[in-house]
Structure 1
Amino acid sequence: MVANTSKELFILGITRQGKTFRPSDWAERLAGVMGSFRPGGPQPGSHLQYSPWCIPTSIGALKCVIVHRDLRDYNVMAWDFCVNFAKDNDLQVSDTRPLAVGGEGSVG
């Protein structure tokens, strides 16, 4: 389970069965939907940028989204959307940054 003290939640692009999640741009899509959720609220054009609270990235070959816990304080429904996305798609979630896929301390 994910610890509540961590400042970041990592949604990993790999299912609990170890399969790569598709489509390949899922992380960018999820982060794009969350673009308006940001410190200070939505601004003109904010939908064209990723929120600092929901950032797509890659760790090695693994796509992931880093969701900052400040999002939960700002808008719990937006936080729940991200968490439920991971649950609904059976994605692995971590409160620590994974090192890589296939190595020591790795995911999968």
Structure 2
Amino acid sequence: MDDATAHAAFIIRGMTTKGTRFRPSDWADRLAGAFAVVDPNNRMSYSPYVQPITLDGIRCVAVDKKLKESDPTAYRFLQAFAQSNELQTDNAD
């Protein structure tokens, strides 16, 4: 388990509850990109709270539990995203 998953409140997997892969294939990068910041050199950096990762060959998004405290609305949005798209989750609370 890497740093992103060690502190994750939950993992959103790119696999639906029916067992099909979620599309588009870059969904995890897009979702994490919505929480990214642009530095003074115009380089995008993913938020330390929302990271795209790959687990067992499946694209996922690891959501750090600290986001729940620092931005509860964003945390609820990510939970709702997973639920509305019927995505598998780990440690969702």
- TM-score, length-normalised on structure 2? 0.81
Q: Which has the higher helix share?
A: 2
Equivalent position to 1:82, from 64, 78, 84: 78
Q: 1:76 to 1:46 in 2, by over 3 A?
A: farther
1:59 aligns with 2:55: yes
- The letter of the residue matching 1:17 is K
- The letter of the residue matching 1:15 is T
Q: Which has the higher strand share?
A: 2
Q: 1:31 to 1:45 in 2, by over 3 A?
A: farther
Count of paired positions: 86
Q: 2:19 matched to which residue of 1?
A: 18
**Gapped regions of structure 1 (runs ≥ 5):** 1-5, 37-41, 97-108
Larger radius of gyration: 1
> Does the CA contact (< 8 Å) of 1:32 and 1:47 recur in 2?
no
Q: 1:24 to 1:70 in 2, by over 3 A?
A: same
**Which structure carries more relative contact order (alpha carbon 8 Å, separation 6+)?**
2
Moved over 3 A (4+): 42-47
**Gapped regions of structure 2 (runs ≥ 5):** 1-5
* Identity in percent: 36
